[in-house]
Amino acid sequence: MLKCKQVAQLVSLEKEKPLVLSQKLQIKLHLMMCSRCRAFNKNNQQLDNILNAFCNKD
């Protein structure tokens, strides 16, 4: 099983390049069991949305 630090790195890396299926599954499994990593993932997604909205501003 992945450790929290590994999950954080992979979640961040996923924005730059696609992950393989096994990595995605390991992340999903870890996120089901770890509330801190779920929060990190959610915050990361929100930050991405904000940055995308800012960059696409007319």
Overall residue count recorded for the chain in this entry: 58
Spell out the SS3 assignment of 42-57.
HHHHHHHHHHHHHHCC
pTM more than 0.75: yes
Q: Distance (Å, rounded) from C-alpha 19 to C-alpha 52?
A: 21
Per-residue model confidence (pLDDT) at position 36: 98
Condensed to tens digits (0 to 9), the pLDDT of residues 20-58 reads 999 999 999 999 999 999 999 999 999 999 999 988 876
